[in-house]
Amino acid sequence: MRTMEILTERLCLKEYDKSCINDFYKLKSCPSVWTYSTFVPVQSMGEAELLLNEQIVSRQQNKGGFMPLYKRDNGQYIGEAGIISINRNADRCEIGYNLLPEFWNQGYATEIATKLVLHAINALKFERVEALVLSDNKASCRVMEKCGFKCEGILRHFNKHDDNYRDVNYYGIISSDINSI
């Protein structure tokens, strides 16, 4: 696998490596980041190290996955984003992002999600990009809409967390849609 780096006006997305462990642990152990997720925050650095190693291997095997996201001006870690799953048989992929709370509501999610869509369609030649967002995560639903995604349906009781079922919005954007973003 070749090393990938994606740049936007304010952000840099590049490959995780073992030196990222402290930033990775900060993100993966922060409960508020995972409020709208099935991910259970890690409780130890050891758990984080195992997850980081899995993430690195997944990317090396071209299976997709998250990559660390930094501010370009000062190199500060703000979270992760990436093409998190790939289906080459159907020429489609799924994107995702997770930001530390202090970087919410500053346009970073929209900026990186838009760049990921353009990269997936223009550079990687995917026909379709998808994203799954919990229906009650209004901020991420708005990010998807700003990026040109269409809500193609609601997957009722798709997610279960603490014995509660939650609906998920299924978003999609296809190559002919990107002229509008």
**Predicted local distance difference test score (pLDDT) of residue 161:** 84
**Predicted local distance difference test score (pLDDT) of residue 3:** 67
* Higher-pLDDT residue of 62, 9: 9
* Higher-pLDDT residue of 161, 2: 161
pTM here? Answer: 0.94
Hey, what CATH topology would domain 5-127 get? Answer: Aminopeptidase (3.40.630)
What average pLDDT does the structure give for the chain?
A: 94
User: Which pLDDT tens digit goes with each residue over 13-31?
Assistant: 999 999 999 999 999 999 9
Domain spans of the chain, in order of start = 5-127
User: Which pLDDT tens digit goes with each residue over 98-134?
Assistant: 999 999 999 999 999 999 999 999 999 999 999 999 9
Q: Do residues 169 and 152 make contact, with C-beta atoms less than 8 angstroms apart? A: no
**Predicted local distance difference test score (pLDDT) of residue 7:** 96
**Predicted local distance difference test score (pLDDT) of residue 1:** 43
Out of 3-7, 19-23, 83-87, 168-172, least confident range? 3-7
Query: For residues 9 and 31, what is the distance between their CA atoms, to the nearest angstrom?
Result: 29
Query: For residues 51 and 121, what is the distance between their CA atoms, to the nearest angstrom?
Result: 28
**Predicted local distance difference test score (pLDDT) of residue 37:** 87
Question: DSSP characters for 138-149?
Answer: HHHHHHHHHTT-
180 pLDDT above the threshold of 90: no
- Mean pLDDT for 23-41 is 94
Confidence of residue 38 (pLDDT cuts 50, 70, 90): confident
Residue 26, burial from CB neighbour count under 10 angstroms (0-12, 13-18, 19+): middle
62 pLDDT above the threshold of 60: yes
